[in-house]
Structure 1
Amino acid sequence: MGEFSHFDEEGRSRMVDVTDKKETKRIAIAQGKVKVSPKTLELIKDQEIEKGDVLEVARVAGIMGVKRTPDLIPMCHPLLIGGVDLKFNIIEPTATIEILATTKITGKTGVEMEALTAVSVAGLTIYDMCKAVDKGIEIGEIKLLKKTGGKSGIYLDQELIGEAIAFCSSPEKGTAKEEIAEATFKEDYGLEGDAHAGDWHRQVSLLAIEDIDFMREQGLDLELGAFGENVITKGLKLPELPVGRRLKLGKEIILEVTQIGKECHDRCNIYHQVGDCIMPRRGIFAKVIKGGTVKPGTKLEVLIND
């Protein structure tokens, strides 16, 4: 049996012995997602659920869940938790509530199970608070996003790591953009030389190559930039990011998501040229928090505050 097995040499259950391990600062961030009906989401946002403030009750429940983790998971060590923080992000296009739980400790073992328990209990509490109006609520996608500390060091979920495979620009709005060899992003302005740059919230548009390829599979002959996107990404689920989430592009550029999709009141030139436009459904928009210059193939990371 391994040193950190929950069974001894004779196959008997045991709690792993961490007596001789060094204490380090450890942080774990877990995520859970609760999908509700659009009507239920509005009731939650407006605090019109009869049982009370759904998210505040769920926040307290998640914190209590952290403290009860060793009572629920047989081999978990009782820990002196240093800090717990639960945040809720509303993703309106999919009527989803994202739960983020951050647990911290200076100790000899990690707090991943505590973070995962927090989002699980918070999700169940949302269901309990809302089941009278919506019994079809789904709780899922519970996973560890990030951990630091301990011998194993930093863990980062692969869904947080993507790539910017191309950059596109155009001097006019509502038109297809063309690829550029190098992109310069200016703080609180956007992509230098692009018509959408300026003092507003949709300075930069992003679209995933996976969505572009889906349209190509429908028989459309598409060049990158055909939907008016500035940044073509690979490996990230862009429409699932909440407003306010930050992205790190390369070593220094920081983008902040400001809008998921958009409403098109008129058919733009892109729609008439291509026959459809997926930016309103699958694209996202951001503003530039910190600028810099990058080339295609640059790492794109979803930042999770810890």
Structure 2
Amino acid sequence: MEFTHFNKNGRAHMVEVGDKEVTKRIATASGKIIMKKKTLDRIKEGQIKKGDVLSVSEIAGIMGAKQTSNLIPMCHNIFLSGANIDFNFIEDGVQVQATVKTEGKTGVEMEALTAVSIACLTIYDMCKAIDKDMIINDIKLIKKSGGKSGDYVRKDIKGKVLSVNISDKKGVIKKPIKEGVFIEEFGLENDAHGGNWHRQVSLLAIESFEKMKDLGIDGLVPGIFAENITTEGIELFSLPIGTRFKIGETIQELTQIGKECHTGCEISKKVGKCVMPKEGIFTKIIKGGVVREGDPIEVI
């Protein structure tokens, strides 16, 4: 594959896209800003003198996406149909994710990467008075869709299993077990949600739990959202349908993102609000095997 930003004379130029087809294009990028615990605590508590750090950063990230062609010399001026910035609190800082959309003749990967970069820089600016040691790192493209080159999903996305959870009835809280046997074309052995259908296994990230904790909801433990596998370090709902994971000894395929929550179920009654309808995912078992606490999760 050749670089496209050079003309026949070896000089830099903006790539001609006039003959390309208009398609729906989406790109997601992420990055982190690492900081001291006291800085993170003050962000959570709204104790930064300059104001609401994440709200300002969110606006800055969206503005950054719209200004990409003014910042990166060979980027095209693109009409954006959407830009969304998400934040997750991690142990040593904040993870930022940006998803940018358009319908056009060129992609929005640079817009997503710029949005993440500007959002992280804004957090730094808001907090530098108390923590100049903050580090911005791990800025990367997670996935993109649309265009001649097709879909892309980053292959080095990794996480781990925090808990394997089981129940013999639907609509109730699942109980953690040390390990579970996952059966091809069924799901978790002896679990009520198993069967020859597309929603054999449910997964939810601990990062989604943190969002509920930030709303003041206590008592959140693995299995409370009726998920079979509680994960860490991987934003499951940002991955496209059809993505395959190696989880422990198993291979699983993403078949559904989110679901309609059970009305009046035990989870809703105990938790009050549920992240599963938007951020939980479902998979089917392509290759069976054992999954244990601490097992790695890899996109394959």
Contact 2:31 2:137 in 1 (8 A): yes
Residue number in structure 2 paired with 1:45:
44
CA distance in 2, matches of 1:198, 1:72: 44
Give the counterpart of 1:102 among 90, 99, 102. Answer: 99
Q: Distance in 1 between matches of 2:151 and 2:237?
A: 24
Provide the TM-score with structure 1 as the length reference. 0.61
The 1:297–1:105 alpha-carbon spacing in structure 2 relative to 1, beyond 3 Å, is farther
Q: In 1, are the aligned partners of 2:165 and 2:176 still within 8 Å (CA)?
A: no
Aligned to 2:289: 296
CA contact (8 A) 1:27 1:148 kept: yes
What letter matches 2:224 in structure 1?
W
Contact 1:88–1:97 (8 Å) recurs in 2: yes
Q: Which residue of 2 aligns with 1:126?
A: 123
Quote the offset at 1:102 in angstroms: 0.7
Aligned mate of 1:183, from 156, 171, 188? 188
Q: Report SS of the residue matched to 2:54.
A: helix
Once the two structures are TM-superposed, the CA of residue 39 in structure 1 deviates from its matched residue by 1.3
Given residue 35 of structure 2, which amino acid in structure 1 is its aligned partner?
Answer: V
1:159 is paired with a residue whose SS is coil
How has the CA–CA distance of structure 1 residues 176 and 28 changed in structure 2, closer, same or farther, with 3 Å as cutoff? closer
Judged with a 3 Å threshold, the aligned counterparts in structure 2 of structure 1 residues 12 and 102 are, in CA distance, closer, same or farther, namely same
Give runs of aligned pairs for residues 225-240 of structure 1, distance below 5 A. Answer: 239-240=232-233
1:140 partnered with 2:137? yes
Alignment of 1:39-118 (within 5 A): 39-91=38-90, 94-118=91-115
Normalising by the residue count of structure 2, what TM-score does the alignment of the two structures yield? 0.62
- Distance (whole Å) between structure 1 residues aligned to residue 4 and residue 40 of structure 2: 43
Gaps of 5+ in 1: 192-196, 207-237, 257-285
Distance in 1 (alpha carbons) for counterparts of 2:96 and 2:157 = 16
Matching residue within 243, 249, 253 for 1:250: 253
**Percentage of pairs with the same residue:** 41
Say if 2:183 is the partner of 1:159. Answer: no
3-state SS in 1 of match to 2:156: helix
Q: Structure 1 CA distance, aligned partners of 2:282 and 2:77?
A: 45
State the Cα distance separating 1:126 from its structure 2 match.
0.3
The ranges of structure 1 where at least 4 consecutive aligned residues each deviate by more than 6 angstroms after the TM superposition are 161-164, 242-248, 253-256, 290-293
| Cα contact 2:61–2:118 (8 A) shared by 1 | yes
Question: What is the aligned partner in structure 1 of residue 212 from structure 2?
Answer: none
Output the CA distance in 2 between the equivalents of 1:199 and 1:152. 39
Who is 2:265 aligned against?
none
Letter in 1 for 2:188: A
CA offsets 1:84-113 (integer angstroms, 9 cap, x no match)? 11111112xx22211110111100000000
SS in 1 for 2:87: strand
Inter-CA distance 9–297: structure 2 relative to 1 (3 Å threshold): farther
| Counterpart in the other structure of 1:263 | none
Distance 1:255 1:141 in 2: 27
> Aligned ranges for residues 206-285 of structure 1 at < 5 Å?
239-241=232-234, 249-250=252-253, 252=255
Q: Is the 8 A contact 1:29 1:146 kept in 2?
A: yes
Q: How far apart in 1 are the matches of 2:104 and 2:180?
A: 52
Cα 1:252–1:151 shift into 2, 3 Å: closer
The CA deviation at 1:70 is 1.0
Unaligned runs of 5+ in 2: 169-174, 195-199, 202-220, 245-251, 260-274, 292-296
**2:47 partner letter:** E
The residue matched to 1:104 in structure 2 has which SS?
A: strand
Q: Are 2:84 and 2:99, in contact at CA under 8 Å, matched by a contact in 1?
A: yes
Instruction: Describe the SS at the equivalent of 1:123.
Output: helix
Query: What displacement does 1:41 show?
Result: 1.1
Residue 248 of structure 2: aligned partner: none
